[in-house]
Structure 1
């Protein structure tokens, strides 16, 4: 988010998707950015406050269904209304701010009314073109692929790219995907993307948008979880957050994103720990038991129930390759003080009992 943003009018603010995003869904990062920006440009605070009020009236992108004909019809109705009210005094509303006071008059100014609608309309169009979200294409069907818990599946996309979905994951993409290579992912998937410089390949997963031309990489963004990652095997990808923070990663590098704090970092990764699932490898490196049970639950389609009198302590490290759930649980029992009991699709977790010496 460059500090060189130097707007001349409210429209410049509304054309900035980061400003609109801040007004609609502020975060600690964006609050701090716009606070610093205000200190740098104190003479433009009034313009910013005006734009903020206008931005609050913007509808979410998915609700923006207005087309050119409807927009022009709305202008005609507005002009007619203002012509009928030219002889009627207009109310004046005070708009209060710190250190200054300005007055806005609405109703008897056709130009002001047209400017407001025009600014909103232009902002809608600009945001639709500029944000990292996947736009909805009119009359284009959306195809969804879902893999249930306990199952993994590999298939080919319409552009000949390959995708492997991990358990409990879903992807969706437009029917004209070969020309519009945009995917929405919930869960985890490995992509081997066919190179096509004319049609960039992008994936929206939670707050992250990953853009590539041709490469292979893993994306993890399960619903209800705050820790996401993008790990590159070949090529290069760009990862961007909704707050406008971007980073590029190359082979052996991964981007880690915390959805709760908005923090993003980059570093090396352990292949088996992040991508071993494709080869049926489970690897835990000092992982919390909560994370271990969550992964096992998704991998084997079971639920873990903890004994109310038992408190899990410490973390777990272990590796299993192509093993049944029973073998995994036995392996964990051998190296911990935990006892498991498998009942159908439930795993009862309790403290390992100690038998007296005989």
Structure 2
């Protein structure tokens, strides 16, 4: 029971949710156990070692737009040198160190999940957003949710029980109301995320091959449905990526800022959709196409499978779908045609 109480208090301490009385209790437990002191020092040192990470993607895309014939002037900016298709995916680079540290801390960090919060729910509601649209809702507990295009959120009209649980298909940004006694849990088809009070993004579309969780502040625990025994701890300003939904191999890397002079949350590339921006770095054409479908309300089909693997870097905000595709076609050799709401890439 002592070990379980220690992990509970440690989780609250790192999340900034511990009360003065609980802090005294934690100090007493630390004074009695060298093992607890060692774990406390390792974890607090890890979570306090914050180093700003800014990946600059300001550069030469202005030259590209000047050579593309479009009907309206464009405002493409802050784009890095284009990266060719044989470039290794950027988000894999920094995974090893973060993976090792998080794996060390993972299993003992949160208390076991033995609540049955859903049993007390009397009424469920569903919020859906179509293509080209976003929604914002404040849940009954004060949690704020921004729902991206082509997404669905299932939530209770009123939370009850020991936990606050919702279900997501698509992408949403959560700013969770602090309530240490009632953890907030987001369920997706392939994983769940458990938090205390925090701000983070979850991207879990059915038509994407990958799943992402981006943590802006606070503390979250990620559990894969295929590997429920492992509790993965995500550090603030980091991103968890499960590249293949059917595997258990994941990466944890720092967030990317598309403006090197702005390290605020408004410049985080992974949550750029909140500001109606389409931003990508060394991202595959097929992945960009899926995001573009949601932003522009179109369907993109590839007649040439090889072109799905092209990689691009760019930032688009007010540009049309034609301006986007014209810019990308200047970097890699492809053409497209539009038939109603469907765009064919060949």
Alignment size in residue pairs? 222
What are the Cα deviations for residues 179-227 of structure 1, in whole angstroms up to 9, with x where unaligned? 6510111111000111112221111112211111111000111124331
1:202 aligns with 2:185: yes
Structure 1 portions without partners, runs of 5+? 1-129, 351-358
What are the Cα deviations for residues 32-84 of structure 1, in whole angstroms up to 9, with x where unaligned? xxxxxxxxxxxxxxxxxxxxxxxxxxxxxxxxxxxxxxxxxxxxxxxxxxxxx
Deviation at 1:228? 0.9
Distance in 2, Cα, partners of 1:319 & 1:329: 12
Counterpart for residue 271 of structure 2: 275
Counterpart for residue 340 of structure 1: 336
Q: Given that residues 208 and 290 in structure 2 are in contact (C-alpha distance below 8 angstroms), is that contact kept between their aligned partners in structure 1?
A: no
Give the alignment of 1:151-230 within 5 angstroms: 151-177=133-159, 180-230=163-213
TM-score, normalising length: structure 1: 0.56
Distance in 1, Cα, partners of 2:141 & 2:275: 24
SS at match of 1:137: helix
Higher Cα Rg: structure 1 or 2?
Answer: 1
Deviation at 1:342? 2.9
Distance change (3 Å), C-alpha of 1:134 and 1:164: farther
Relative contact order (alpha carbons < 8 A, sep ≥ 6): 1 or 2 greater?
A: 2
Identify which of 252, 255, 259 aligns with 1:266: 252
Distance change (3 Å), C-alpha of 1:134 and 1:198: closer
RMSD: 2.6
TM-score, normalising length: structure 2: 0.58
Distance change (3 Å), C-alpha of 1:311 and 1:201: closer
Deviation at 1:149? 1.7
Q: Given that residues 143 and 172 in structure 1 are in contact (C-alpha distance below 8 angstroms), is that contact kept between their aligned partners in structure 2?
A: yes
Deviation at 1:136? 4.2
SS at match of 2:179: coil
Distance in 2, Cα, partners of 1:224 & 1:324: 23
